[in-house]
Amino acid sequence: MDPRSSFSARHGYASQEADITVREDAPEVVRAAVLALGNASGMSVDALRATVCEVLLKVPDRNNWSPSNVSEETQYLVFDAPWFRVYDIAERIHDKLYNQGRRAEVEFAQRLNEVFREHGIGYEMKDGRVIGRGSLVFREATEEAINLMTAAVKPTAAFEMRQALFDITRRPPDITGAVQHGMAALECTARDVMGQPSASLGQLLPGLGLTKPLDEALVKLWGYASQYGRHVAEGMDPRFEEAEMVVTVSSAVSVFLLRRSNPGI
């Protein structure tokens, strides 16, 4: 372990992950963190201001030349920016650090993600891009489903689940796409398990042998997905949390079906 690491890192302490309460916003704690981490990464105050101005298409104030004035100007720009531009700024800072070749971008992303988790921000930085972040249950369910589908050689189902995960984590998220692909992954799994490659999930559900009321709940979930995921009506788009629930349940049921039909995987 790096002896220069923080006390919490050396001793394995970490804050409990907070429930996600913030989406499509960049509260003050995020704005402050982006600035603080940019400074901590070794960027000069002038370089940080230039990066912020690049994203916001602003001209740096020529009257501000001292470090304190430049920092104050940068802080004003970040705190006054539209919420989505704050995440653009974070991505641009990451890119600048990556191009320097010092690997400072690694710690920048790690510490920014800590802020997201500690304060219930529904985003994470992955590979230098800020993407949507689901709940812990959602992340564990989808990861297990994809791993099991891959192990059971169900490439189509695994692809659909990955696509559902991509749709729900992109910025902005494709909610209807996540619902469609999540249910498609379950449909592919059910087709393989039942040996009926052309049947719809609605046709397959009665024969899956699920105990009541689980079978009835899945019928209703299929109806929901058919209504909101496939037949989008004006003003009737599903919410993020609803799509997350559909994908999580689809993942869990897919895992159950695969394990029941393939006890060895």
Contacts 24+ apart (CB under 8 A), 43-46: 43/93, 43/96, 43/97, 45/70, 45/71, 45/74, 46/70
Average pLDDT value for residue range 100-113: 93
Residues 6+ apart with CB under 8 A from 31: 78, 79, 81, 86
Torsion of CA 107, 109, 110, 113, to 10 degrees: 150
- Give residue 55's pLDDT: 97
Local structure of residue 198 (DSSP, 8 states)? T
pTM of the model: 0.72
Domain boundaries, the chain: 14-132, 136-261
Amino acid identity, residue 253? V
Query: Beta-carbon neighbour count of residue 189 at 10 Å?
Result: 31
Measured CA to CA, the distance from residue 140 to residue 120 in angstroms comes to 17
Q: What percent of the chain has pLDDT over 90?
A: 53
- Give residue 228's pLDDT: 65
pLDDT band at 44 (very low <50, low <70, confident <90, very high): very high
Q: Are 246 and 183 in contact (CB under 8 A)?
A: yes
Q: For residue 60, is the peptide bond before it cis, meaning its omega torsion is within 30 degrees of 0?
A: no
Mean pLDDT lowest among 52-56, 111-115, 189-193: 189-193
CA distances from 16 to 46, 118, 141 (A): 36, 7, 20
pLDDT tens-place string over residues 16-32? 778 888 988 999 999 99
Residue closest to 152 by CA, chosen among 249, 248, 254: 254
Tokens 């700024």 map to which residue?
89
Strands 129-132 and 123-126: antiparallel
pLDDT above 60 (res 111) = yes
Q: What is the mean pLDDT of the chain?
A: 88
Strand-pair partners of 124: 131
Question: For residue 22, which phi and psi values (nearest 5 degrees)?
Answer: -120, 120
- Give residue 54's pLDDT: 97
pLDDT tens-place string over residues 60-75? 999 999 999 999 999 9
Q: What angle do CA 6, 38, 79 make, to 5 degrees?
A: 120
